[in-house]
Amino acid sequence: MSTKNSVAVVGSLNRDIILQITNLPLAGETIHTQKAVSYAFGGKGSNQAVSCARNGSQVAMIGCLGQDSHGDEFKQMLQKNEINHRFVKQLPNENTGQAYILLQSSGQNSIVVSAEANHLLTPQMVQDSESVIQEAQFVLAQFEVLLPAIVEAFSLARANQAKTVLNPGPVIEADFDYLYALTDIIIPNETESEKLTGITIKDNQTLSESAEFFHQKGIEVVIITLGKAGVYYSNRKRQDSGKIAAHVVKAIDTTAAGDTFIGALLSQLALDYQNLSEAIAYANFASSLAVQKLGAVDSIPTEKEVKSKIKKLNS
């Protein structure tokens, strides 16, 4: 595996419980699953770390697990994927985070998360992990850990000349201006962008207005994922923006699609962003492979698989 960027991921690790159903139940309705309950490794932080690693990056994970069987299994999974887990703490008398995924026949999902140990990551724990942040070129975070830990991570990243990348999901109620000022790249999906900006995305004009909202907060690069409609990007410094088409396939499970995209993107992205559109196109292919498999971590493709798919489509 060729090493590209070095990435430190500050984020969640969840044990996924997957319930396959025809459609979401109505209020007061009881339904049966289509298949037996299945289990997988997940959590936005974990998924993104694995995607970075499988696509060639050197990766360190910062987060919390419970001191339970799920936590033990997570450590083994991270090690198998060559992810530095020195600063993934297993906390006594705590449970590993869990996510209950309602997977519909259409491939769309609804997720309910019980944060558990994820919400016990503290700024002090992040400070203790500064050695891996010092080595990173990108520091990536999401909102499945608490805001003070993210702010601490991004502050340390800025002090060590690392690029900061925020995936603002799930959106929480907070004043983000201080965090925005510490953010170099923001990657929301369409729904998250609308919640943060107050701008309903309808067309290219409203996409541009949404990007400008983030630029005015001090963020240089805005990447808004739009599902089947592709990805919109805006680079303020280069005055470059545009939309890149998605590679549309029949989806089986969309659970880790966005996380796969982000990890694959950072594995390819140059530190000066000069190959931004190419990195997004690569990440779109990675995401299209992920949605064709069940589960989160289990569905994330390797660089070899992505490049093989691209080669076949171009031949």
- The pLDDT, as a whole number, for residue 2 is 45
Residue 299 among known ligand-binding residues: yes
In the block, tokens 């608490």 appear at 146
Helix pair 190-197, 204-216: axis angle to 10 deg? 60
Question: What are the tens digits of pLDDT across the range 21-75?
Answer: 999 999 999 999 998 898 889 999 999 999 999 999 999 999 999 999 999 999 9
Residue 66 among known ligand-binding residues: no
- The pLDDT, as a whole number, for residue 247 is 85
Average pLDDT, the chain: 94
Residue 298 has pLDDT above 80, yes or no: yes
| pLDDT over 70 percentage in the chain | 99
Note whether residue 99 is domain-resident.
no
Note whether residue 131 is domain-resident.
yes
Residue 3 has pLDDT above 60, yes or no: no
231 strand-pairing partners: 225, 244
- The pLDDT, as a whole number, for residue 315 is 75
Note whether residue 29 is domain-resident.
no
Question: What are the tens digits of pLDDT across the range 180-218?
Answer: 999 999 999 999 999 999 999 999 999 999 999 999 999
Note whether residue 97 is domain-resident.
no
- List for the chain the helix, strand, coil content (%; round to 5): 40, 25, 35
Catalytic center residues = 259
- The pLDDT, as a whole number, for residue 157 is 98
Identify the CATH number of the domain in which residue 258 sits. Answer: 3.40.1190.20
Confidence of residue 1 (pLDDT cuts 50, 70, 90): very low
Phi then psi dihedrals of residue 138, to 5 deg: -130, 140
Residue 256 among known ligand-binding residues: no
Count of Cβ atoms closer than 10 Å to residue 204 Cβ = 12
Nearest to 264 by CA among 313, 298, 307, 227: 307
Residue 295 among known ligand-binding residues: yes
Report yes or no: 49 and 305 within 8 Å, Cβ to Cβ.
no
Q: Give the C-alpha separation, 157 to 163, whole Å.
A: 7
Residue 107 among known ligand-binding residues: no
Note whether residue 171 is domain-resident.
yes
Q: Which domain holds residue 123?
A: 44-64+81-88+119-314
The dihedral through the CA atoms of 74, 77, 79, 83 has a sign that is negative
Confidence of residue 251 (pLDDT cuts 50, 70, 90): confident
Report yes or no: 300 and 288 within 8 Å, Cβ to Cβ.
no
Within a 13 Å sphere around the CA of 83, how many CA atoms are in the beta-carbon half? 30
Note whether residue 93 is domain-resident.
no
Average pLDDT score over residue span 279-296:
90
Average pLDDT score over residue span 169-187:
95
Residue 284 among known ligand-binding residues: yes
Q: Which of 156-165, 256-265, 271-280, 293-302 has the lowest mean pLDDT?
A: 293-302
Q: Give the C-alpha separation, 315 to 309, whole Å.
A: 10
Instruction: Compute CA 75 distance to the chain's CA centroid, rounded to the nearest angstrom.
Output: 19
Instruction: Compute CA 259 distance to the chain's CA centroid, rounded to the nearest angstrom.
Output: 3
- The pLDDT, as a whole number, for residue 295 is 75
Residue 202 among known ligand-binding residues: no
- The pLDDT, as a whole number, for residue 314 is 83
Domain count, the chain: 1
Note whether residue 193 is domain-resident.
yes
Question: What are the tens digits of pLDDT across the range 203-213?
Answer: 999 999 999 99
For residue 235, which amino acid is it? N
- The pTM score is 0.93
Note whether residue 11 is domain-resident.
no
Residue 23 among known ligand-binding residues: no
100 strand-pairing partners: 17, 112
